[in-house]
């Protein structure tokens, strides 16, 4: 089969389009003929080697949708030809965390890599039936951003009437957070660097759009929009450049969700800033495997809207990474397979 593989960490040039042996499904596993793969920031971090060394070539990509192509021994839930979406959280399935449905707390938890390929083999428990009314590209755009956003909104205690400050609002995670927060009846202050995207953010429900350039401080604007109180929840995927502004923009007792660090992850905090204001810093990384089956039907009913910025053929994965890293997006980038 054709696949994108990474042999050593580096820039986009390490994404090699090459011939790879087609994987065979083992006991309890299913092989999917992928039709679309979602591009996530995680894939860039994998490419850069931030998740560890490369003992063997890695096929990146966690989100994908396609058709069941072959089933391994003992598989009971799936048949060849069914349209499916990959649920990319892998865990042991039998520890306390798994049994209570909190798979990301499983000691064995990790995120599946391997959808930048024509075929992917996954455990049968990691597939969800693809609902009608969605294209493969749309179905592949949902997994990591929506599962992550839904999970941290639940853990942050998001409530109707609360205000949420959203950094990186136009990215895949940003638009997922925006839609899920609006569904909860929250007020959303959306931060973007790009004036031309402000109107579209409002169409997706942003109550206020804050234009931001590196070096700006948005906390004054946020305090102005909240009668000086600050917001209930901040969602920060930017990291070093934004984190102290997030601490200034959140109200006493509020929650700062840290869910990425696109400008770097090294910060030095004076702890009094946290404890005097009773601030919770909440780390977010994927979510329960029960989230994706629950959310997918909301897309086929039009309650949630998949947003795709651009689609590239699989062999141009490097161009997709270049756009996500350097040019900005409004929604998801997809590889068609």
- As measured in angstroms, the least distance from the Cβ of 288 to Zn ion is 12
- As measured in angstroms, the least distance from the Cβ of 100 to Zn ion is 10
How do strand 89-90 and strand 110-111 relate by DSSP bridges?
antiparallel
**# chain residues binding Zn ion, by CB under 5 A:** 5
Stretches 21-29, 97-105, 118-126, 156-164: which one binds Zn ion (CB under 5 A)? Answer: 97-105
125 touching Zn ion, by CB under 5 A: no
91 touching Zn ion, by CB under 5 A: yes
Q: Which residue has the tokens 């609360």?
A: 162
Stretches 84-92, 188-196, 255-263, 303-311: which one binds Zn ion (CB under 5 A)? Answer: 84-92
In angstroms, the CA 71 to CA 80 distance is 7
70 touching Zn ion, by CB under 5 A: no
Q: Of 177, 175, 210, whose CA–CA distance to 195 is shortest? A: 210
98 touching Zn ion, by CB under 5 A: yes
92 touching Zn ion, by CB under 5 A: yes
Three-point CA angle 118, 124, 129, nearest 5°: 75
- As measured in angstroms, the least distance from the Cβ of 96 to Zn ion is 8
In angstroms, the CA 156 to CA 158 distance is 6
Q: Which CB atom, from 40 or from 91, has the smaller least distance to Zn ion? A: 91
In angstroms, the CA 194 to CA 331 distance is 14
In angstroms, the CA 279 to CA 178 distance is 22
39 touching Zn ion, by CB under 5 A: no
Stretches 101-109, 140-148, 291-299, 316-324: which one binds Zn ion (CB under 5 A)? Answer: 101-109
Stretches 28-36, 94-102, 169-177, 307-315: which one binds Zn ion (CB under 5 A)? Answer: 94-102
Q: Of 29, 175, 176, whose CA–CA distance to 114 is shortest? A: 29
288 touching Zn ion, by CB under 5 A: no
Stretches 46-54, 91-99, 127-135, 289-297: which one binds Zn ion (CB under 5 A)? Answer: 91-99
Q: Which CB atom, from 38 or from 287, has the smaller least distance to Zn ion? A: 287
In angstroms, the CA 34 to CA 18 distance is 16
Q: Which residue has the tokens 């995670």?
A: 173
Q: Is the dihedral of CA 38, 260, 149, 210 positive or negative?
A: negative
27 touching Zn ion, by CB under 5 A: no
Print burial letters for 92-125: b (CB count within 10 Å at least 16), e (below 16).
eeebebbeeebbbebeebebbbbbbbbbbbbbbe
99 touching Zn ion, by CB under 5 A: no
In angstroms, the CA 40 to CA 329 distance is 12
- As measured in angstroms, the least distance from the Cβ of 102 to Zn ion is 9
106 touching Zn ion, by CB under 5 A: yes
Using CB atoms, what's the residue nearest to Zn ion?
Answer: 106
Q: For binding to Zn ion (CB under 5 A), which residues are involved?
A: 91-92, 95, 98, 106
């Amino acid at each position: 089969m054709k696949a994108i593989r990474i042999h050593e960490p580096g820039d986009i040039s390490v994404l090699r389009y090459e011939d790879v042996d087609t994987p065979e499904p083992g006991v309890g596993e299913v092989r999917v003929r992928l039709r679309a793969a979602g591009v996530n920031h995680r894939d860039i971090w994998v490419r850069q080697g931030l998740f560890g060394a490369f003992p063997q070539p890695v096929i990146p990509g966690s989100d994908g949708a396609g058709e069941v192509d072959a089933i391994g021994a003992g598989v009971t839930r799936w048949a060849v030809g069914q349209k499916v979406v990959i649920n990319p959280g892998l865990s042991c399935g039998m520890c306390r965390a798994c049994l209570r449905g909190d798979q990301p707390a499983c000691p064995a938890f990790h995120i599946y890599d391997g959808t930048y390929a024509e075929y992917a083999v996954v455990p049968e428990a990691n597939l969800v039936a693809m609902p009608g009314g969605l294209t493969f590209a749309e179905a592949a755009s949902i997994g990591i951003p929506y599962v992550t956003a839904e999970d941290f909104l639940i853990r942050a205690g998001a409530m109707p009437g609360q205000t949420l400050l959203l950094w990186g609002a136009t990215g895949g995670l940003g638009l997922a957070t925006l839609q899920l927060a609006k569904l909860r009846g929250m007020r959303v202050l959306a931060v973007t660097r790009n004036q031309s995207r402000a109107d579209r953010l409002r169409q997706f429900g942003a109550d206020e759009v804050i234009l931001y350039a590196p070096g700006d401080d948005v906390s004054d604007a946020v305090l102005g929009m909240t009668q000086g109180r600050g917001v209930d929840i901040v969602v920060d995927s930017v990291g070093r450049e934004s984190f102290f502004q997030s601490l200034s923009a959140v109200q006493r007792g509020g929650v700062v969700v840290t869910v990425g660090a696109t400008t770097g992850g090294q910060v030095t905090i004076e702890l009094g800033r946290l404890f005097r204001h009773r601030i919770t810093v909440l780390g977010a990384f994927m979510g329960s495997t029960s989230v994706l089956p629950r959310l997918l039907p909301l897309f086929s009913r039009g309650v949630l809207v998949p947003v795709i910025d651009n689609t590239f053929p699989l062999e141009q994965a490097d161009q997709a990474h270049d756009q996500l890293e350097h040019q900005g997006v409004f929604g998801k980038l997809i590889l068609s397979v």
